[in-house]
Amino acid sequence: MLQQVNRQIILVERPIGIPGESCFKLVTSEMPKPMEGHLLLKTRFISVDPYMRGRMNDKKSYVPPFQLNEVLNGAVVGEVVESKSNNIIKGNYVIGNLGWQDYSVATEKEVRKINPENAPVSTALGVLGMPGLTAYFGLLDVAKPKLNETIVISGAAGAVGSIVGQIAKIHGCRVVGITGSDKKTKYLIDELGFDAAINYKTSNLVKALNEACPNGVDIYFDNVGGDISDAVLSLINNHARISLCGQISLYNGIQTPIGPRIEPLLLTHSAFMKGFLVHNYADRFEEGSIQLAHWLREKKLKYAETVTDGLENTPKAFIGLFNGDNIGKQIVKVA
Amino acid sequence: MLQQVNRQIILVERPIGIPGESCFKLVTSEMPKPMEGHLLLKTRFISVDPYMRGRMNDKKSYVPPFQLNEVLNGAVVGEVVESKSNNIIKGNYVIGNLGWQDYSVATEKEVRKINPENAPVSTALGVLGMPGLTAYFGLLDVAKPKLNETIVISGAAGAVGSIVGQIAKIHGCRVVGITGSDKKTKYLIDELGFDAAINYKTSNLVKALNEACPNGVDIYFDNVGGDISDAVLSLINNHARISLCGQISLYNGIQTPIGPRIEPLLLTHSAFMKGFLVHNYADRFEEGSIQLAHWLREKKLKYAETVTDGLENTPKAFIGLFNGDNIGKQIVKVA
């Protein structure tokens, strides 16, 4: 049975620093009705991602900012509950950029069908979705790992980092993860096969990295930035590659972050640093998706999900990303 | 007639901050004598280069540090005054890594013959030598300029920057130079054909760059670093390439230089920054040299030299690099 109202989460205040729950509000609106050519989708899983913090500022970037008093949006897995379209029918699962709400309306072109027989549908938000593709291209295309090289990954237990490490293992690298709890270091080593993992909150990071990287650092896959990157960069080898995926430690900063200038290090080591967005690789998503699914079937890739229950808890799940609450992909399960 | 003594410049004190002349001392030693298989070379031109500042610190880097109380060394053009070798004869000119002294002894393998009929022999230290090759590979291989892109060059009137700008013009770019005097901005525009040039000492740099780069910055060729780079990076376009060649503004710093963290800018613009050393391209020097000589003959490349007279003034010429005393290549003419 369909509800009579559609619950939605809107942004009522632009956060300054770490977002508070008061920036978000749960409102209700009328149930949307699909017009001809449209689908009515019941939200099953919502993805919350660190990059969304940038969209909460009123500043043009590579994606437009969220608008105040409008429904927040991002990657969502929905189930088709009514179809006025041809190729996607009732009962199908789809993924698309949809609202943080119980129900959405979309055209076929705005969503992509997912096959629940291949893997749980929530993996379309994680290992088989943007985070998996981000790991795939950010490691293989940007950093180009070679056998026996040492890679350090910050945010290593997150949705992207945990996949990067496993792909690097597949390519014969020594893999060292930096993360924020002993539970996570244990997970990285025992479950995912990392060679070493460091809890940056309880270690002398430079010392711990030195021990974990006896041959220096050839690749740094950076999800975090800030002080953690300063420590890693102090150990880079000649011709090191730094793949810049995220800078979560800086997203909530109020002022321009300041730190040691890195150009002298890059210069004297003939190193490079490259920022990338997964959407740069849109024309190769199929290649990446096929390979990730293949590794998943072969059990060369494992994934974890941290699942928060209830649409109303989406803001809390989002905010938790900045406390490192999640292992693997943080998703919200909606009824 | 040969002198009876060999004047030499040694490093007697490691500089802290900007080097003073007291760090250097002119001494005399016996005339060297070439053994079998060796050449006796009379120094004609000495190259002083910013990278040498790093070698004056007692710190391992990509080249070993200069040793205290030993003769300083670098690229030198010498004339063969005595040959006990087969393929290089008296009267030939050669280039090699030799001492800051009147006379040196070297084997054939340690030097390379230069042909004085192609171009003045001093160009082997500049446009046809390491600075020219640095410009060639740092622009074409690292930054890969495309037609109609905008390139900004810091240290634009220096030995490398002035060549980078001209090669970028050959490739159809809009070329904007940053330099430290009105004499130099005039030189860049009137003599070398730059589209715009900015005196950073008398401009609001961000404003001036905004005016000079109406379509943003696609390539930044950086010889300087520091505040100047902060201004340029604030204007980069998506997919910008930053070729890190030098950081002269930082070489004399006593503490680790601090500045705005650049990772967020690189990330949101899918930009990359790459440090390089010309020696990474050793196996392509012939290609670069042939092309540079070709452009020089075609008059597509011009070069300037700032010539200081006398071995005893080599330290002064070196120190002058950090005051921007030179236009084009700074060399010292000996005897």
Query: Is the same domain home to B149 and B256?
Result: yes
Q: How far is CA B28 from the centre of its chain?
A: 28
Identity of the residue numbered A225? G
CA within 13 Å, CB half, A184: 27
- Does A272 contact B270 at a Cβ distance shorter than 8 Å? no
Model confidence band, residue A13 (pLDDT cutoffs 50, 70, 90):
very high
Query: Is the same domain home to A150 and A111?
Result: no
Measured between alpha carbons, how far is A164 from A133 in angstroms, rounded to an integer? 10
Q: Is residue B273 part of a domain?
A: yes
Measured between alpha carbons, how far is B95 from B111 in angstroms, rounded to an integer? 5
Q: Is residue A288 part of a domain?
A: no
What percentage of chain B carries pLDDT values higher than 70? 99
Q: Is residue B144 part of a domain?
A: yes
Model confidence band, residue B88 (pLDDT cutoffs 50, 70, 90):
very high
Query: Is the same domain home to B121 and B134?
Result: no
Q: Is residue A245 part of a domain?
A: yes
Q: Which residue of B has its CA nearest to A63?
A: B268
- Does A267 contact B280 at a Cβ distance shorter than 8 Å? no
Query: Is the same domain home to B28 and B121?
Result: yes
Q: Two tokens at A159?
A: 């949705």
Best residue of A227, A268, A276 to probe chain B, by most B CBs closer than 10 Å: A268
Query: Is the same domain home to B143 and B275?
Result: yes
Contact A152, A214 (CB under 8 A): no
Alpha-carbon Rg of chain B, whole angstroms? Answer: 20
Q: How far is B244 from chain A (nearest CA, A)?
A: 6
Count: domains in chain B:
2
Q: How far is A115 from chain B (nearest CA, A)?
A: 32
- Does B260 contact A258 at a Cβ distance shorter than 8 Å? yes
What CATH number should be reported for the domain holding residue B206? 3.40.50.720
| Residue-level pLDDT at A129 | 97
Task: Give me the residue from A258, A270, A273 closest to B259, CB to CB.
Answer: A258
Phi, psi of B321 (to 5 degrees): -60, -35
Beta strands in chain A (DSSP E): 5-11, 24-30, 38-47, 73-83, 93-99, 103-107, 111-114, 150-154, 174-179, 196-199, 217-222, 236-244, 258-260, 272-275, 305-309, 329-333
Q: Is residue B168 part of a domain?
A: yes
Overall average pLDDT of the A62-70 stretch: 93
- pTM value is 0.95
What CATH number should be reported for the domain holding residue A313? 3.90.180.10
Task: Give me the residue from A61, A260, A273 closest to B272, CB to CB.
Answer: A273
Contacts of A245 in chain B (CB under 8 A): 267
Q: How far is A282 from chain B (nearest CA, A)?
A: 14
Q: What is the domain range of residue B271?
A: 130-279
- For tokens 């390439």, the residue is B241
3-state SS class at A278: helix
Beta strands in chain B (DSSP E): 5-11, 24-30, 38-47, 73-83, 93-99, 103-107, 111-114, 150-154, 174-179, 196-199, 217-222, 236-244, 258-260, 272-275, 305-309, 329-333
Q: Which residue of B has its CA nearest to A244?
A: B267
Q: Is residue B288 part of a domain?
A: no
Query: Is the same domain home to B218 and B178?
Result: yes
Q: Is residue B296 part of a domain?
A: no
Q: Two tokens at B55?
A: 């070698």
Res. B279: pLDDT tops 90? yes
Query: Is the same domain home to B244 and B212?
Result: yes
- Does A225 contact B264 at a Cβ distance shorter than 8 Å? yes
- Strand B150-154 and strand B217-222: the pairing is parallel
Query: Is the same domain home to B153 and B228?
Result: yes
Chain A residues contacting B, CB < 8 Å? 54, 61-62, 222, 225-226, 229, 238, 244-247, 250, 256-277, 280
CA distances from B299 to B165, B292, B294, B295 (A): 14, 10, 9, 6
Query: Is the same domain home to A136 and A104?
Result: no
End-to-end CA distance of chain B, in Å?
12
Query: Is the same domain home to B73 and B86?
Result: yes
Res. B79: pLDDT tops 60? yes
The size of the A-B interface in CB pairs under 8 A is: 113
When the pLDDT of each residue in chain A is averaged and rounded to a whole number, the result is 96
- Does A263 contact B273 at a Cβ distance shorter than 8 Å? yes
3-state SS class at A57: coil
* Residue pLDDT, tens place only, A238-260: 999 999 999 999 999 989 999 99
Res. A2: pLDDT tops 70? no
- Does B225 contact A256 at a Cβ distance shorter than 8 Å? no
Edge-to-edge strand ranges of the sheet holding A236-244: A196-199, A174-179, A150-154, A217-222, A236-244, A272-275, B272-275, B236-244, B217-222, B150-154, B174-179, B196-199
| Residue-level pLDDT at A123 | 97
Closest by Cα among A69, A53, A75 to A319? A53
* CA torsion through residues A27, A31, A37, A42, sign: positive
Query: Is the same domain home to A199 and A274?
Result: yes
3-state SS class at A128: coil
Q: Is residue A195 part of a domain?
A: yes
| Residue-level pLDDT at A3 | 62
